[in-house]
Amino acid sequence: MRIIILSRRKLFLTFLFLFTVGGFFAISQRSMTTIPSLVKTPGTYYMVNTQQKVVALTFDDGPDPVDTPAILDILKAKEVRATFFVLGKAAQSNQYLLKRLAKEGHEIGNHGFSHDYQQRRLVEEMNQTNEVVFAATGNHTYFYRPPGGFVSKSQLEKTKSNGHVVALWSVDSKDWRNPGVKQIVNNVMKNVFPGSIILMHDGGYQRTQTVKSLGSIIDALKERGYRLATLSELRMLDSDTK
C-alpha cells in the first residue's frame, strides 16, 4: 500500500476543493432546486418583457417594528408603492403594520410563515400567512416568494395549485450582506432594466443600510426615467401575457 503524505497547505487546499464541490452538488441535487440569483427559473415571475421603464421594488422578511415603518415613511414621501413579502410569524406580531401597508396602497405578498428554506410545510405555511394577512387587511395574498428564492419543480406546482404565483427577482440589491449604503445603491443601478423586479429586505436582521439606501435608489431610478410599481401593476405590462 502506498502512503501519500501531504503538507498542511495541500491538505487545506484539498479540503477546500472537496467542500466547495460537495456543497455545490448538494444544492443542485436538492429536489432539483434552482437559485434564482443564478438561474432564472422557468414558470416563475421574476421580470416582465416590456420596453416601458417601469420596475418593482420588493421587500422580504418583514414586517419589522423598527425598519418597516422607516421604509414606509420614505416610500410615502417619495410617492412610491411597493410589494412586501411578509413572514407569517412577523406579521402575526405586527398586524398594525399590515394594516398600514394596505392603507398606504402597498401590495402584500406571502413569504411563508417561518422562513423554512426547505419548505417542508409549504402549503400549510403559505395558508397560515395568508390567514394572518386576511385577518388584518381583508385581502388574500396572491404572490408567493420562497425563502431564499429556492424552489423545486414540485414546490412550484404545489404553489400554483394553491392559487399563488411564485415571484422571484431579477435585480438583487444584496442588502442582506450589509455591504454598505453606496454598494447597495450600485448593486441596483448597475443591473436595473425595464421590467425588472428588485429584491430588498425590511426584516430578518438590522436593515439600517437598506433604509439609508432606499431614498437614493428611488431618486436615481426616477432620474433615469423609471416609474416604480407594485408587482401586480408591473405584470400588467408584460407583452408575453397579452
Residue 77: closest CA among 87, 69, 67: 69
Let me know how many helices (H) and strands (E) the chain has, helices first.
9, 8
The full length of the chain comes to 242
Please report, for residues 30, 50, 181, 226, the alpha-carbon distance to residue 184 in angstroms, rounded to integers and kept in the order given.
30, 25, 5, 18
The residues assigned a catalytic role are 60, 201
Q: What is the SS3 assignment for 44?
A: coil
Q: Which helix (H) or strand (E) holds 198?
A: strand 197-201
For residues 71 and 31, what is the distance between their CA atoms, to the nearest angstrom? 36
CA 55 to chain centroid = 14
Cell of 18: 472537496
Cell of 30: 436538492
Pairing of strands 197-201, 54-62: parallel
Please say whether the beta carbons of 87 and 120 come within 8 A.
no
Would you list the DSSP string of 71-89?
HHHHHHHHT---EEEE-HH
